[in-house]
Amino acid sequence: MLCGLPEIDGEVKLGFNGDLYPTAGATSVMSTTGDIVRYDSERERYGIGATNQVLTVVGGLPAWASATGGATVSKVQTSLAATFSTTSTVYTDVTDWTLTKPDITGGICFGLASATPYTTGTAINQGFQLMDNDVSVAQSIVRQNEQGGSPHAMNMVMDLSDSDGNVLHVEMKISSGSGSIYYSTTWGIPKLVAFGVG
Protein backbone atom coordinates (compact mmCIF):
# COMPACT_ATOMS: atom_id res chain seq x y z
CA MET A 1 0.00 0.00 0.00
CA LEU A 2 1.46 3.38 -1.04
CA CYS A 3 -0.13 6.58 0.31
CA GLY A 4 -3.42 4.76 0.67
CA LEU A 5 -3.37 3.39 -2.91
CA PRO A 6 -3.85 -0.38 -3.38
CA GLU A 7 -0.99 -2.48 -4.67
CA ILE A 8 -1.49 -5.40 -7.04
CA ASP A 9 1.45 -7.75 -7.54
CA GLY A 10 3.70 -5.14 -5.96
CA GLU A 11 2.57 -2.37 -8.30
CA VAL A 12 0.32 0.61 -7.66
CA LYS A 13 -2.50 0.58 -10.21
CA LEU A 14 -3.96 3.96 -11.14
CA GLY A 15 -7.28 3.96 -12.97
CA PHE A 16 -10.71 5.52 -13.09
CA ASN A 17 -13.97 3.66 -13.50
CA GLY A 18 -16.46 6.39 -12.65
CA ASP A 19 -16.00 6.07 -8.87
CA LEU A 20 -13.90 8.79 -7.28
CA TYR A 21 -13.45 6.76 -4.09
CA PRO A 22 -12.63 3.11 -4.92
CA THR A 23 -13.37 1.42 -1.61
CA ALA A 24 -14.16 -2.25 -1.29
CA GLY A 25 -17.70 -3.04 -2.34
CA ALA A 26 -18.44 0.46 -3.67
CA THR A 27 -20.37 0.88 -6.90
CA SER A 28 -19.85 3.50 -9.57
CA VAL A 29 -21.45 6.80 -8.63
CA MET A 30 -21.45 8.46 -12.07
CA SER A 31 -23.43 6.95 -14.91
CA THR A 32 -24.19 9.65 -17.50
CA THR A 33 -22.07 11.98 -19.62
CA GLY A 34 -21.53 15.23 -17.73
CA ASP A 35 -22.18 13.76 -14.27
CA ILE A 36 -20.30 15.13 -11.30
CA VAL A 37 -20.09 13.88 -7.73
CA ARG A 38 -21.10 15.95 -4.75
CA TYR A 39 -21.30 15.04 -1.07
CA ASP A 40 -23.97 15.83 1.49
CA SER A 41 -24.51 12.96 3.93
CA GLU A 42 -23.07 10.58 1.36
CA ARG A 43 -21.63 10.57 -2.13
CA GLU A 44 -24.24 11.30 -4.77
CA ARG A 45 -24.42 11.66 -8.50
CA TYR A 46 -25.25 15.19 -9.65
CA GLY A 47 -26.27 15.37 -13.30
CA ILE A 48 -25.08 18.04 -15.71
CA GLY A 49 -27.04 21.27 -15.84
CA ALA A 50 -28.86 22.79 -18.81
CA THR A 51 -27.14 24.73 -21.59
CA ASN A 52 -25.78 28.10 -20.38
CA GLN A 53 -26.22 27.20 -16.71
CA VAL A 54 -23.30 27.66 -14.32
CA LEU A 55 -22.32 25.80 -11.18
CA THR A 56 -22.92 27.83 -8.04
CA VAL A 57 -23.49 27.12 -4.34
CA VAL A 58 -26.96 26.93 -2.77
CA GLY A 59 -27.45 25.88 0.84
CA GLY A 60 -23.84 24.76 1.10
CA LEU A 61 -24.07 22.42 -1.91
CA PRO A 62 -23.05 22.78 -5.56
CA ALA A 63 -26.09 23.57 -7.70
CA TRP A 64 -26.76 24.49 -11.32
CA ALA A 65 -28.32 27.91 -11.96
CA SER A 66 -28.85 30.32 -14.83
CA ALA A 67 -25.91 32.63 -15.41
CA THR A 68 -26.42 36.16 -14.12
CA GLY A 69 -24.35 39.33 -14.28
CA GLY A 70 -21.54 39.64 -16.78
CA ALA A 71 -21.03 42.43 -19.26
CA THR A 72 -23.75 44.26 -21.13
CA VAL A 73 -22.68 44.94 -24.71
CA SER A 74 -24.51 47.14 -27.20
CA LYS A 75 -23.59 48.41 -30.66
CA VAL A 76 -25.32 51.00 -32.83
CA GLN A 77 -24.24 52.28 -36.22
CA THR A 78 -25.47 54.43 -39.05
CA SER A 79 -24.30 55.11 -42.57
CA LEU A 80 -24.25 58.37 -44.47
CA ALA A 81 -26.68 57.69 -47.28
CA ALA A 82 -25.33 60.16 -49.85
CA THR A 83 -22.29 62.32 -50.58
CA PHE A 84 -22.17 65.44 -48.37
CA SER A 85 -20.49 68.57 -49.74
CA THR A 86 -19.64 71.91 -48.16
CA THR A 87 -17.68 75.07 -48.87
CA SER A 88 -17.58 76.08 -45.21
CA THR A 89 -14.21 76.94 -43.67
CA VAL A 90 -15.63 76.47 -40.16
CA TYR A 91 -17.02 73.22 -38.79
CA THR A 92 -20.55 72.52 -39.96
CA ASP A 93 -22.92 69.61 -39.30
CA VAL A 94 -22.84 66.74 -41.75
CA THR A 95 -26.52 66.34 -42.65
CA ASP A 96 -28.29 63.20 -41.41
CA TRP A 97 -25.24 61.63 -39.79
CA THR A 98 -26.06 61.19 -36.09
CA LEU A 99 -26.72 58.36 -33.67
CA THR A 100 -27.54 57.86 -30.01
CA LYS A 101 -24.90 56.11 -27.89
CA PRO A 102 -25.92 53.02 -25.87
CA ASP A 103 -27.16 53.94 -22.40
CA ILE A 104 -25.45 51.53 -19.98
CA THR A 105 -25.14 52.51 -16.31
CA GLY A 106 -21.46 52.72 -15.43
CA GLY A 107 -20.49 51.66 -18.96
CA ILE A 108 -18.02 53.04 -21.46
CA CYS A 109 -18.53 53.73 -25.14
CA PHE A 110 -16.15 53.71 -28.09
CA GLY A 111 -17.34 56.04 -30.84
CA LEU A 112 -15.85 56.12 -34.33
CA ALA A 113 -16.63 57.88 -37.59
CA SER A 114 -14.87 56.91 -40.82
CA ALA A 115 -15.22 58.40 -44.27
CA THR A 116 -13.41 58.99 -47.55
CA PRO A 117 -12.77 62.71 -48.24
CA TYR A 118 -12.97 64.25 -51.69
CA THR A 119 -11.88 67.71 -52.78
CA THR A 120 -12.52 70.00 -55.75
CA GLY A 121 -11.10 73.33 -56.77
CA THR A 122 -8.44 74.68 -54.43
CA ALA A 123 -9.49 72.68 -51.38
CA ILE A 124 -6.43 71.14 -49.70
CA ASN A 125 -7.32 70.22 -46.11
CA GLN A 126 -10.49 68.66 -44.75
CA GLY A 127 -11.23 68.68 -41.05
CA PHE A 128 -13.58 66.21 -39.34
CA GLN A 129 -14.68 66.33 -35.73
CA LEU A 130 -16.78 64.01 -33.62
CA MET A 131 -19.34 65.75 -31.44
CA ASP A 132 -20.84 64.34 -28.22
CA ASN A 133 -23.99 66.31 -27.33
CA ASP A 134 -22.53 69.26 -29.30
CA VAL A 135 -19.17 69.08 -27.52
CA SER A 136 -16.13 68.35 -29.70
CA VAL A 137 -14.38 65.21 -28.44
CA ALA A 138 -12.10 64.28 -31.37
CA GLN A 139 -10.71 66.00 -34.46
CA SER A 140 -8.74 64.95 -37.52
CA ILE A 141 -7.31 66.84 -40.50
CA VAL A 142 -6.64 65.18 -43.83
CA ARG A 143 -4.31 66.92 -46.25
CA GLN A 144 -4.88 66.03 -49.87
CA ASN A 145 -1.91 65.60 -52.15
CA GLU A 146 -3.87 66.91 -55.14
CA GLN A 147 -7.09 68.75 -55.87
CA GLY A 148 -10.07 67.10 -57.49
CA GLY A 149 -10.05 63.69 -59.09
CA SER A 150 -10.70 60.49 -57.16
CA PRO A 151 -11.41 60.31 -53.43
CA HIS A 152 -8.32 60.10 -51.25
CA ALA A 153 -7.22 58.52 -47.99
CA MET A 154 -9.68 57.38 -45.34
CA ASN A 155 -10.31 59.79 -42.48
CA MET A 156 -11.28 58.63 -38.98
CA VAL A 157 -12.20 60.30 -35.71
CA MET A 158 -12.75 58.32 -32.52
CA ASP A 159 -13.37 58.78 -28.82
CA LEU A 160 -13.76 56.78 -25.62
CA SER A 161 -16.40 58.14 -23.26
CA ASP A 162 -19.25 57.24 -20.92
CA SER A 163 -21.98 55.05 -22.37
CA ASP A 164 -24.58 57.62 -21.41
CA GLY A 165 -27.11 57.79 -24.23
CA ASN A 166 -25.73 61.07 -25.60
CA VAL A 167 -26.04 61.94 -29.29
CA LEU A 168 -22.98 61.63 -31.54
CA HIS A 169 -22.67 63.50 -34.82
CA VAL A 170 -19.94 64.55 -37.22
CA GLU A 171 -18.93 68.02 -38.38
CA MET A 172 -16.73 68.93 -41.33
CA LYS A 173 -14.82 71.92 -42.69
CA ILE A 174 -12.43 72.58 -45.59
CA SER A 175 -9.59 75.05 -46.06
CA SER A 176 -10.91 76.54 -49.31
CA GLY A 177 -12.84 75.59 -52.43
CA SER A 178 -15.22 72.68 -51.94
CA GLY A 179 -14.90 69.39 -50.08
CA SER A 180 -17.03 66.30 -49.71
CA ILE A 181 -17.55 63.27 -47.55
CA TYR A 182 -17.79 60.83 -50.39
CA TYR A 183 -20.44 58.13 -50.52
CA SER A 184 -19.69 55.27 -52.88
CA THR A 185 -20.13 51.52 -52.77
CA THR A 186 -16.79 51.43 -54.61
CA TRP A 187 -14.77 53.91 -52.55
CA GLY A 188 -16.46 53.34 -49.20
CA ILE A 189 -19.65 54.06 -47.28
CA PRO A 190 -19.16 56.56 -44.41
CA LYS A 191 -19.89 54.92 -41.04
CA LEU A 192 -20.65 56.26 -37.58
CA VAL A 193 -20.42 53.56 -34.89
CA ALA A 194 -20.86 53.46 -31.10
CA PHE A 195 -19.91 50.36 -29.12
CA GLY A 196 -20.95 50.35 -25.45
CA VAL A 197 -19.82 47.93 -22.71
CA GLY A 198 -20.80 47.94 -19.05
Report the pLDDT value the prediction gives residue 23, as an integer from 0 to 100: 53
Report the pLDDT value the prediction gives residue 14, as an integer from 0 to 100: 54
The DSSP string of 39-80 is ESSSEEEE----TTEEEEEETTEEEEEE------EEEEEEE-
What tens-digit pLDDT sequence spans the chain (198 residues)?
A: 445 556 666 665 555 555 555 554 445 667 788 888 888 887 788 889 999 899 999 999 999 998 887 788 999 999 999 989 888 999 999 999 999 999 999 999 999 999 887 776 666 678 889 999 999 999 988 776 555 555 566 788 999 999 999 999 999 998 777 788 878 777 788 999 999 999
Report the pLDDT value the prediction gives residue 52, as an integer from 0 to 100: 86
Report the pLDDT value the prediction gives residue 1, as an integer from 0 to 100: 44
Helix (H) / strand (E) containing 130: strand 125-132
Report the pLDDT value the prediction gives residue 24, as an integer from 0 to 100: 46
Distance from the Cα of residue 92 to its chain's centroid: 31
Report the pLDDT value the prediction gives residue 9, as an integer from 0 to 100: 63
At the top level of CATH, which class does the domain 73-197 belong to?
A: mainly beta
Residue 169: which of 141, 140, 194 has the closest Cα? 194
Per DSSP, 88 falls in state: -
Alpha carbon distance 125, 52 (integer Å): 53
- Domain residue ranges of the chain, discontinuous segments joined by +: 7-66, 73-197
Report the pLDDT value the prediction gives residue 39, as an integer from 0 to 100: 81
Within a 10 A sphere around the Cβ of 35, how many other Cβ atoms? 14
